[in-house]
Amino acid sequence: MKSKFLALALLLPSIATADGINSAEESLITEFGPKFSDYDQYQPFAMKEHKTHFTVWKSKTRGFSDHYAINIGEIAKKTKSLDAFKESQDAPAQRTCITHSSTPTEKTLVNGYEAISWTSTCELDKLTITSIEMAIMGNQNFYHLRKLWKFPVPDEKIAEWQALLRQTSLCDSANEAHICPVE
């Protein structure tokens, strides 16, 4: 089952499931759902703050030390480029971590929209933080997806989540250049 996240200015005030946010236009489509291997190990919750909608699935056993987040917000004047966004994500880690590494951005098109993805690792004393991130520049909204672990994670699990993020799509029911799939 695919989960859809539809973005618009008037978002529902509280959504506790991944089934979607109603909109007439842009839709974020992710394969994260009941068929994904870890899906039942996470508890979803959502909130809207200012003009950004956050949906987070936190681990039922590890809390926010193991979570998946999708942030959808209006394209801000400060969001000039995807590369600048990645730099804004890396900067705090570079200042805080004892060692920080971030892969070069993998640039791609997601149904005609510009997108980037990357992986980061932060070492803090006895803590290892690994994140896999994807950012997509839509026409009306900016989309940021992040899977984060605050403990050592096997390469196989990282690869599984990277494959999941690569299946993410963005479409626009009002724009034939970014047509939505027929369900």
How does pLDDT run across 16-65, given as a tens digit for each residue?
A: 223 343 344 788 998 888 888 889 999 999 998 887 899 999 999 999 99
Asked whether residue 131 is assigned to any structural domain, the reply reads: yes
Give the angle subtended at the CA of 58 by the CAs of 55 and 63, to the nearest 5°: 145
Asked whether residue 183 is assigned to any structural domain, the reply reads: no
Q: Which domain holds residue 114?
A: 3-178
Tell me how far apart the alpha carbons of residues 178 and 76 are, in angstroms, rounded to a whole number: 21
CATH number of the domain enclosing 71: 3.40.1000.10
How does pLDDT run across 97-154, given as a tens digit for each residue?
A: 999 999 999 999 999 999 999 999 999 989 999 999 999 999 888 999 999 999 999 9
Asked whether residue 55 is assigned to any structural domain, the reply reads: yes
Q: How far is CA 155 from the centre of its chain?
A: 19
Structure-model confidence comparison of residues 154 and 5, the more confident one:
154
Asked whether residue 126 is assigned to any structural domain, the reply reads: yes
How does pLDDT run across 158-173, given as a tens digit for each residue?
A: 999 999 999 999 998 8
Asked whether residue 94 is assigned to any structural domain, the reply reads: yes
Asked whether residue 76 is assigned to any structural domain, the reply reads: yes
Look at the chain and report how many structural domains it folds into.
Answer: 1
Q: Is the dihedral of CA 96, 119, 73, 51 positive or negative?
A: negative
Asked whether residue 90 is assigned to any structural domain, the reply reads: yes
pLDDT of residue 12: 24
